[in-house]
Structure 1
Amino acid sequence: MQVRETKAEGLKREIEIVVPASDLEARLQTRLYEIKDQVKLKGFRPGKVPMSHMRKSYGRSVMAEIVNQIINETPRSVIAERNERSAMQPEIQMTEDEGEAEKVLRGESDFRFTVAYETLPSFDLKETDGIKIERPVVEIGDDEVEDQVKRIAESARTYQPKDGAAENGDRVTMDFVGKVDGEAFQGGSAEDSNLVLGSGQFIPGFEDQLVGVKAGDEKTVNVKFPEDYGAAHLAGKDAEFAVTVKAVAAPDAMELDDELAKKLGLESIARLREIVRGQIESQFGQATRQKVKRQLLDQLDAEYSFELPEKLVEAEFNNIWNQVSRELEQSGKSFEDEDTTEEKARAEYRKLAERRVRLGLVLSEIGEKAGVTVSDEELQRAVIDQVRQYPGQEQQVYDYFRKTPEAIQSLRAPIYEEKVVDHLLSTVAVTDKTVSKDELMKDDEDELSSAA
């Protein structure tokens, strides 16, 4: 086999591989001999078929198998021998001339093909002793817990029908039809909808206009959608709702006691408070983790600069762009609604793709040097978590992951990244800083900038 490099520009490589016809012939003879005892041809006893007949009957199909094997195995071994790592699956190019291809399958010609790929960049890892992380933490007070318990109690609150006019705190059951510019819009109509007045669940001004209504009343409610409303085609628009009040109910007294807990399937109010505190701690803990990780990745990103494989960047950009496009479509918004243009957005998301690829390579190298691995048990737990998200389809989802290596890899990557982040956090300076709940929960400017 002959190997010749035909391109070496930056990270791009192209090599030509030639497998002589004599090598192909030797492989063919070996393979035909291996299957000789399995072949059954009329007029010959098993294992007694002459090689000339074997070649005439099976030579072409066996040679096709050999060619496929060479294509599947040789590029990987050649790249490894060159002490290189391909960033993505190499591209194989071979003759499109049917006559030349037929000669190869008949063993009359050398098999010649090229392998094009980009190598992963090599870079030196830098010391992490200069990285300093400020970990934001929130002290969870009893008031925070009590507020959450009250919200839970409100959701479990019971109501009794009343004959009088609706007041704030009362629940109104109604049918309504909403229109903008005289036309009904999707999601603007409902039947037997329950609304607690003063809860702030509907468009600003809607609930205020229902104060004083009684069962059987029909009322026209005029409101204006907020300028920042999620559905762009409704944002800032005037709307008219035709409301039919079907019932008004007053709330029962709300007691934060063991009886409330028992309604929720718990033994006591103390147990409810314990669970709520744990949920708040988990919520705040996740927010803290995100901000700590963001600081770490920002500092790593500032430390490294090297050439990136173009195809890796392009693949990552396409993933991001598809996500952005889906979100815009679902919200009914455009780039203009976001005060930008598609051209500017593409440039920004291209930078984000480059950041993700660069950080992914850095974290991978750090993890490899530190001996970070993902165990089969961790992968199995990740698969189970995915399966649980599709009740009724558990077996199909499990079979999908079992049969699809790429899907398993998609689960492995984030687990590996988090373990590398944990390793790094154990080696850098981390100091705690007490912050308010609002400060902790404030969204970063661009949460997409994670390396994942």
Structure 2
Amino acid sequence: MVKVDLNKRFIIMGFLNLISALRRIYIANRHKRRDFNMKKKLTIVMATVLSGVLLAGCNKAGDASTNANSASSSASLAEGIDAQSLQGAVDGSSAGASAEPLTEDGYLSYYTASDYVTLGDYKGFEVKVPIVEITDEDVQSTLLSSYASSFTPVEVTDRTDVRMGDTANINYVGKYADTLEAFDGGTDDSAEGYDLVIGSGSFIPGFEDSLIGAEVGTTVDINLTFPEDYSAAELAGVDVIFTVTINKISAPAYSDEEVAALGIEGVTDKDSLLEYIKEDLTTQAQEENKETARSSALDLAYDNATFAEEFPQVLVDRFISDYEDTLEYYMQMYSYYYGVSYSSVDDYISQNYGIAAEEVASYKEEQAVEQLKYIFLERAIADAEGLTVTDEDIEAELLDIATQSGYEDVDSFAEFYNSTYGRDVRELAAEQLIAEKAQDFLAENSTLVEVEASELEEETDDASEAASVAE
């Protein structure tokens, strides 16, 4: 299975500066909750950039599985997006247009971080992270959601009940619970039916579980409620009834031949595939904990720091522009997959983040300033600890990107990037690398305390409630 590194792809497409800006906003709002519903929106976009999921659960607008589907796997979704459709959305964004070059004072290297931030305590924090414990259920769930579709299902003839892991061929009609009228996009009455892997998480919560135990040839009614944050606003939080007919059931045989065809080193049969999945999930959880340590330690350092009242306007303007370009790109992608149109980025912000139209401009400036606080904090820590980025570091980072982009060397890639986007790609790479070094330092000088996930959830809920009261 090929893992798509969309972080690199976005950089290759000229969005290195946007990723950097987006990451700042995400970190700034991860615990502060200063921007209404921004955290949720940016979490979705960060998943887009960093995990390889372009838009989780986004199928063609109007398709039945769009309204019944909440999130498909990274792998299957990435396979469903072709270069032409992706480029079509990119071309609609002004982020890729030629831009006026930034002046020298538009880059962070022009400034001394200590002029804008006074450091408080930034080392020796205790950071709570969830205990890494991968269960058999976790492994089976990943097998179903990310791998089962790669195997040929074989029709089950020795039983008639639907079980976890089966592929159920179904027809269904989704209706509003109060009127019993069918809602748009919630019906599949085709002759071929719809193949649903039970346990894949492809449909909204409760749908698949409700089919377990149902018999082939029967029709069942499933009473469900769409999630409050469901992408289609007209269905969010709505009570519905799905009338589902089970036509037949199949199950993957997981033959050694098909397992080997996945092309995963050392994986030759189902047992070794399950072992690989468990190891992979463990690694992912550990990496998530490291990222939690980075962001949590940075937040704590932020809370202990004192910042200047004002920041250079040229930098504020730069990060407002980056923020607008990032949202415009996301807006184009959202429009492409959901068919929702917005008149402008400001309109998008107003409608999705609950910001009054007359307050959008000040809101964007607040976001830019918040980014700059975190950026100067990182750079001040780097200065205090003697963390530096060498020319060799920058060239090595950019060489990988240039090679993936089809350029023979960094210079030719940099020339293209600089002329197209008006940004010195070496300066941008240096900015990102120094930020990462500062974050790594904070994580390495913090103590990770493993606790039960439920304890972290309670603390997060308490913090959210406190922030809400404060607002």
What's the TM-score, normalizing by structure 2? 0.51
Is the 8 Å Cα contact of residues 154 and 251 (structure 2) preserved in structure 1? yes
Q: Which residue matches 1:171?
A: 167
Shift of 1:262: 5.6
Alignment of 1:12-411 (within 5 A): 87-88=105-106, 123=115, 126=118, 131-141=123-133, 144=134, 146-154=136-144, 155-156=147-148, 159-162=154-157, 165-169=160-164, 170-174=166-170, 184-185=184-185, 192-197=193-198, 200-204=201-205, 206-207=207-208, 208=210, 212=214, 214=216, 224-237=225-238, 246-249=247-250, 265=264, 266=267, 269=271, 273=275, 276-277=278-279, 279-300=281-302, 302-306=304-308, 307-324=310-327, 327=330, 330=334, 341-342=356-357, 347=362, 349-368=364-383, 370=386, 372-377=388-393, 379-384=395-400, 388=404, 394-395=406-407, 400-401=413-414, 403-405=416-418, 406=423, 407-411=425-429
Letter in 2 for 1:160: E
Instruction: Give RMSD over aligned pairs.
Output: 5.1
Matched residues in 2 for 1:187 and 1:308: separation? Answer: 54
Identity %: 20
Taking a change above 3 Å as real, the CA distance of residues 443 and 160 of structure 1, as seen in their structure-2 partners, is: farther
Shift of 1:232: 1.9
3-state SS of 2:236 partner: coil
Shift of 1:411: 3.3
Shift of 1:316: 1.4
Identify, as 1 or 2, the structure richer in helix.
2
Matched residues in 1 for 2:447 and 2:301: separation? Answer: 16
Please list every run of 5 or more consecutive structure 2 residues that lacks an aligned counterpart in the other structure: 1-102, 341-347, 465-471
Q: Note the alpha carbon deviations across 1:215-267, whole angstroms, 9 max, x for none.
A: 6x788877553332122233134667686755323576x99xx9997676515
Matched residues in 1 for 2:206 and 2:281: separation? Answer: 33
Higher relative contact order (CA 8 A, sep 6+): 2
Letter in 1 for 2:396: Q
Q: Given the alignment of the two structures, is residue 433 of structure 1 paired with residue 449 of structure 2, yes or no?
A: yes
Matched residues in 1 for 2:406 and 2:307: separation? Answer: 44
3-state SS of 2:126 partner: strand
Q: Which residue matches 2:74?
A: none
Is the 8 Å Cα contact of residues 117 and 376 (structure 2) preserved in structure 1? no
Q: Which residue matches 2:56?
A: none
Matched residues in 2 for 1:362 and 1:241: separation? Answer: 52
Shift of 1:436: 2.5
Letter in 2 for 1:230: S
Q: Note the alpha carbon deviations across 1:280-334, whole angstroms, 9 max, x for none.
A: 2343333333343333344246423223112311331343345456657727687
Is the 8 Å Cα contact of residues 169 and 196 (structure 2) preserved in structure 1? yes
Q: Note the alpha carbon deviations across 1:96-155, whole angstroms, 9 max, x for none.
A: xxxxxxxxxxxxxxxxxxxxxx987862875665644113345434xx154444335544
Task: Report how many aligned residue pairs link the two structures.
Answer: 323
3-state SS of 1:404 partner: helix
Matched residues in 1 for 2:245 and 2:387: separation? Answer: 66
Matched residues in 1 for 2:448 and 2:222: separation? Answer: 50
Q: Which residue matches 1:16?
A: none
3-state SS of 1:87 partner: helix
Taking a change above 3 Å as real, the CA distance of residues 238 and 295 of structure 1, as seen in their structure-2 partners, is: same
Shift of 1:403: 2.7
3-state SS of 1:308 partner: coil
Matched residues in 2 for 1:394 and 1:189: separation? Answer: 46
Letter in 2 for 1:171: T
Shift of 1:353: 1.8
Q: Given the alignment of the two structures, is residue 421 of structure 1 paired with residue 421 of structure 2, yes or no?
A: no
Structure 1 or 2, whichever has the larger Rg, is 1
Taking a change above 3 Å as real, the CA distance of residues 359 and 340 of structure 1, as seen in their structure-2 partners, is: closer
Shift of 1:418: 0.8
Please list every run of 5 or more consecutive structure 1 residues that lacks an aligned counterpart in the other structure: 1-75, 77-85, 90-117, 447-452
Taking a change above 3 Å as real, the CA distance of residues 311 and 189 of structure 1, as seen in their structure-2 partners, is: farther
Shift of 1:357: 1.2
Letter in 2 for 1:203: I
Matched residues in 2 for 1:387 and 1:192: separation? Answer: 44
